[in-house]
Amino acid sequence: MIRKDAQTILSVKNLTANINDTPILKGVNLEVKEGEVHAIMGRNGSGKSTFSKVLAGHPAYEVTGGEIIYKGVNLLEKEPDERALSGIFLAFQYPLEIPGVSNLEFLRVAYNAKQKYLGLEEIDVFEFEDLVEDKLDIVKMDPAFLQRSLNEGFSGGEKKRNEILQMALLEPSLAILDETDSGLDIDALRIVANGVNQLATPYTASLVITHYQRLLDYIEPDFVHVMYDGRIITSGGKELALELEDKGYDFLDELNQKVLVEVGG
Ligand SMILES: Nc1ncnc2c1ncn2[C@@H]1O[C@H](COP(=O)(O)OP(=O)(O)OP(=O)(O)O)[C@@H](O)[C@H]1O
Ligand SMILES: [Mg+2]
């Protein structure tokens, strides 16, 4: 669903970031336009989750260079909550459990924070219940989950569906899904993928981090990128995911050598 006049939503240039003084991201470049679906693949430990957390503004990561422009604004100057309010949504690889806070209340607070930020009216519990009920359908979730503590005791798959429910309520401009497919059975995978597809619009974009080509059968990416040691070392279309599935990651070692020569590292 890419419009002719699609604007750039996210522009990442030569982004470097450390954790505990160890460089993890070593020069990430990425351009995402409205309507596009980008997939990021790559070996364990290559920096995919780090990249998603740096985009969301996770305080543990120190950005040491480069830039992130989101909708024309320098994202690195924005606090994590402002990033979220301005439409960046990160579905975590490992969603948090918050005992004592009901899922419903958590979702309503998040929803109302966004309403307020947009200068719209906050809604009460009753209105919110109606709204959330409509959205439950997208992820085929039992309303009983709303009364439970946030993610507490949720199975892995239930947590992932709950992330998509949050996304459905918040209607982000840029949805970042970090291995939202891991641990899902085949039905849940379809449900989650359908949810993501239903929420896609020509004005929004998504960044899907996954290890499995299978997810990409359901969420069709316009671009596939491969991260290797803190950089995107190659990009292509959907066929790149198939090639990776076929060849594994070993062939990238050689490619990475070439990239290192190019960047002079
Ligand atoms: N808090 C931390 N302290 C030290 N090293 C860290 C920390 N967080 C991440 N790292 C390291 O950064 C590297 C990149 O991790 P990251 O989680 O981004 O990888 P990933 O590509 O998401 O991997 P996976 O496919 O396994 O999810 C890893 O080597 C990891 O050990
Ligand atoms: Mg990860």
The predicted pLDDT at position 192 comes to 86
Residue in 15, 16, 19, 177 to alter for ligand 1 test, most ligand atoms within 8 A of Cβ: 19
Residue in 40, 44, 53, 215 to alter for ligand 1 test, most ligand atoms within 8 A of Cβ: 44
Question: 189: exposed, middle or buried (C-beta count within 10 Å: 0-12, 13-18, 19+)?
Answer: buried
pLDDT along the chain (265 residues), means of 10: 88 97 97 96 95 95 98 96 94 83 92 95 94 91 91 87 92 92 83 89 94 88 96 95 88 86 77
Q: Which CATH class is domain 8-95+173-263?
A: alpha beta
What are the CA-CA distances from residue 90 to residues 6, 85, 152 (Å)? 22, 12, 19
Task: Kindly tell me the number of DSSP H helices and DSSP E strands found in the chain.
Answer: 10, 12
The predicted pLDDT at position 31 comes to 98
Residue 50 CA, ligand 1 centroid: distance in Å:
6
The reply to whether the predicted model has a pTM over 0.85 is yes
Whose C-alpha lies nearest to ligand 1, atom 30?
45
Q: Give residue-wise pLDDT tens across range 164-174.
A: 999 999 999 99
Residue 184 CA, ligand 1 centroid: distance in Å:
22
| Domain residue ranges in the chain | 8-95+173-263
- Would you give the end-to-end CA distance of the chain in angstroms? 38
The predicted pLDDT at position 155 comes to 86
The predicted pLDDT at position 64 comes to 98
The 3-state DSSP class for residue 24 equals: strand
Closest ligand to residue 47's CA: 1
Residue 224 CA, ligand 2 centroid: distance in Å:
16
